[in-house]
Amino acid sequence: MSDIINLTLSALINKIKKKELSSQEITNAYIKRAVKSKDLNTYITTDFENAIEKAKKFDEKGNFNYKLPGVPLAVKDLFCTNNLKTTAGSKILSNFIPSYESTVTQHLWDEGAILLGKLNCDEFAMGSSNETSFFGNVESPVGKKVVPGGSSGGSASALAAKLTPATIGTDTGGSIRQPASFTGTVGLKPTYGSCSRYGIVAFASSLDQAGPMTQDVSDAALMLDVISKYDTKDSTSVNFKRGDYFKSLSSNIKGKKIGIPKEYRVDGMPKEIESLWQDGITLLKKLGAKIIDISLPHTKYALPAYYIVAPAEASSNLARYDGVKYGYRSEGENLISMYENTRSEGFGDEVKRRIMIGTYVLSSGYYDAYYLKAQKIRRLIKNDFDEAYKSVDAILTPSTPSSAFKIGDKTDDPVSMYLNDIFTVPVNLSGLPAISIPVGKDKNNYPLGLQLIGKAFEEQNLLDISYSMEKELSFKNNLQDWWIK
């Protein structure tokens, strides 16, 4: 069994295809481990009985040509799953069972994958430590009482703890890359418009993007092959020619030009992050890449702009949770008091904070000063990247300004929590693809990641560069299974 859970996704698939392992053996192995790993609080909802049933069916008459033949997977609880509770980590959706499936998860099942259950996340994906979930915080397997990052914290923790061979998360301001960096895993945010948003509980529509979270870069390429597809049900989905990412993976990056943006050297950045970045640069040089210093002058405005745009959209996106049609309702004397009771009780503090910020910045008299200005900054940030990409193929930065922190350390200080996203939000504001790969560890032995930012729709290039780095790095988490009961 320990063999099974130590296999990467692509290795598992090989063994299934060669019939060395059955879907049932694999599914049972992950379920068994999940049951012993309850203390990490990674799952909000499990669907183990159905998973075993589906695995059995797959072994009986499954299609071995599928890309994910009989592979059990758990997914972030932001993806609507037909007939299985979908909460978005919120009390207000704590009883919500969709009658439909998100496009992205449907692609997984269409390629033979089997749903294990729904993974914890920050409420409505608003958070950087998985501490805002109504279903409790998630612990990271990298250390006791350490946050896994957020908002895809349950996904990152489950992946690092080997409770699922791979998973998918969503990334609005860093929610895939930051937890990947915190847990020593790979997280890819594809170009905006690559993966359909249909059936994903919306946080900030112009920024939200689903993406793979995996043990290594090849697995990320494989997952991207499955989930990146044009979808007419999402008007912002882009019909571009997708690559054959997994098959085309190449570790030859000779002559690639990698930009190092000076603005990402922020004040107070820990030495270990600085030297991690330097290690990355050295490695890329060794691999034959050309390092070019670049400037992204508007970077410092990205975080404030993000914390205007994202809450603005969220304040409107979350208006539908009013107790009228579905989800949690708290009765009241009249419609208004029902609204007030439902939303006061149904939303947590962080969500309320962002709804209020968003409502404020869209209000008449403030719209121009905040929302409109933030949109202009967004354009300038995008222009910075466009300018940079005239001379480089990709950009290397740290994924986060620090390593994982302890649970409770930042919950009283929203601004310091928001600073976690400082290197990831410019990417979302520009709609670009970016990947975080594990590169080293800090003094506590907590993982640290580097981020590669690519040109729009050039995920292959990003995957190739990180693939070649990964080969040289041979990063290992070496977790001690301290949480297993």
Partner 1 sequence: MSKNKEYLIKRGNSEYEVIIGLEVHAQVLSKSKLFSDSPTNFGAEPNTQVSLVDAAFPGMLPVINEFCIKQAVKTGIGLNAAINKKSIFDRKNYFYADLPQGYQISQYKDPIVGEGSILLDLPDGEKKVGIERLHLEQDAGKSIHDIDPQNTLVDLNRSGVALMEIVSKPDLRSPEEVNLYIKKLRSIMRYLGTCDGNMQEGSLRADVNVSIRKTGDKKLGTRCEIKNVNSIKFMQMAIEYEANRQADILEGGGSIDQETRLFDTKKNETRSMRSKEDAHDYRYFPDPDLLPLELTEDFISKIKKEIPELPDEKKKRFVDKFKLTPYEANILVSDIETSKFFEDVIKNSDIKLATNWITGELFALLNDRNLEISESPISSKNLSTLINLIKDGTISGKIAKIVFEIMANESKDPKSIIDEKGLKQQSDPKEIEKIVDDVIKENPKNVELFKSGKDKLFGFFVGQVMKKTDGKANPKLVNDILKKKLN
Least distance in Å: CB of 190 to partner 1?
18
Q: How many C-beta atoms surround the C-beta of residue 426 within 10 A? A: 33
Provide CB contacts within 8 A for 434, sequence distance 6+: 177, 188, 189, 424, 427, 451, 452, 453, 454, 462
Residue closest to 380 by CA, chosen among 263, 462, 269, 277: 263
* Positions 329 through 358 that interact with partner 1 (CB under 8 A): 335, 339
151 a catalytic residue: yes
* Catalytically annotated residue among 175, 237, 399, 468: 175
Residue 98 binds partner 1 (CB under 8 A): yes
Question: Which CB, 135 or 198, lies closer to partner 1?
Answer: 198
**What is the rounded CA–CA span in Å between residue 71 and residue 92?**
32
Among the listed residues 99, 255, 331, 415, the single contact to partner 1 using CB under 8 A = 99
Question: Which CB, 245 or 347, lies closer to partner 1?
Answer: 347
Question: Which CB, 16 or 305, lies closer to partner 1?
Answer: 305
Cβ pair 203, 236 in contact under 8 A? no
* Positions 213 through 242 that interact with partner 1 (CB under 8 A): 232-236
Cβ pair 485, 167 in contact under 8 A? no
Residue 319 binds partner 1 (CB under 8 A): yes
Least distance in Å: CB of 163 to partner 1?
25
Residue 364 binds partner 1 (CB under 8 A): yes
Q: Using CB under 8 A, which of the segments 61-69, 262-270, 362-370, 445-453 binds partner 1?
A: 362-370
Provide CB contacts within 8 A for 182, sequence distance 6+: 140, 142, 146, 147, 148, 149, 156, 400, 403, 404, 446, 447, 449
Question: Which CB, 269 or 338, lies closer to partner 1?
Answer: 338
Integer CA distances (angstroms), 117 to 78, 177, 192, in order: 12, 22, 26
- Give me the residues paired with residue 200 across strands: 79
Least distance in Å: CB of 67 to partner 1?
24
Least distance in Å: CB of 335 to partner 1?
6
Residue 325 binds partner 1 (CB under 8 A): yes
Number of residues that bind partner 1 (CB under 8 A): 42
Q: How many C-beta atoms surround the C-beta of residue 230 within 10 A? A: 15
Question: Which CB, 110 or 322, lies closer to partner 1?
Answer: 322
Residue 250 binds partner 1 (CB under 8 A): no
Among the listed residues 75, 84, 88, 357, the single contact to partner 1 using CB under 8 A = 88
Among the listed residues 102, 172, 185, 403, the single contact to partner 1 using CB under 8 A = 102
76 a catalytic residue: yes
Least distance in Å: CB of 461 to partner 1?
26
Among the listed residues 36, 63, 64, 100, the single contact to partner 1 using CB under 8 A = 100
Among the listed residues 205, 341, 411, 416, the single contact to partner 1 using CB under 8 A = 205
* Positions 55 through 84 that interact with partner 1 (CB under 8 A): 80
Residue closest to 349 by CA, chosen among 400, 404, 417, 430: 417
Question: Which CB, 249 or 351, lies closer to partner 1?
Answer: 351
Question: Which CB, 336 or 415, lies closer to partner 1?
Answer: 336
Residue 324 binds partner 1 (CB under 8 A): yes
* Catalytically annotated residue among 76, 118, 441, 455: 76
* Catalytically annotated residue among 151, 403, 436, 466: 151
Question: Which CB, 235 or 478, lies closer to partner 1?
Answer: 235
Q: Could you give phi then psi for residue 327, rounded to 5 degrees?
A: 75, -170
Question: Which CB, 322 or 409, lies closer to partner 1?
Answer: 322
Residue 367 binds partner 1 (CB under 8 A): yes
**What is the rounded CA–CA span in Å between residue 3 and residue 98?**
36
Among the listed residues 301, 306, 371, 405, the single contact to partner 1 using CB under 8 A = 371
Least distance in Å: CB of 103 to partner 1?
9
175 a catalytic residue: yes
Least distance in Å: CB of 87 to partner 1?
10
Residue 251 binds partner 1 (CB under 8 A): no
Among the listed residues 111, 225, 313, 384, the single contact to partner 1 using CB under 8 A = 313
Residues that bind partner 1 (CB under 8 A): 80, 86, 88, 93, 96, 98-100, 102, 197-202, 204-206, 232-236, 312-313, 315-316, 318-320, 322, 324-326, 335, 339, 359, 362-364, 367, 371
Give catalytic residues, as residue numbers: 76, 151, 175
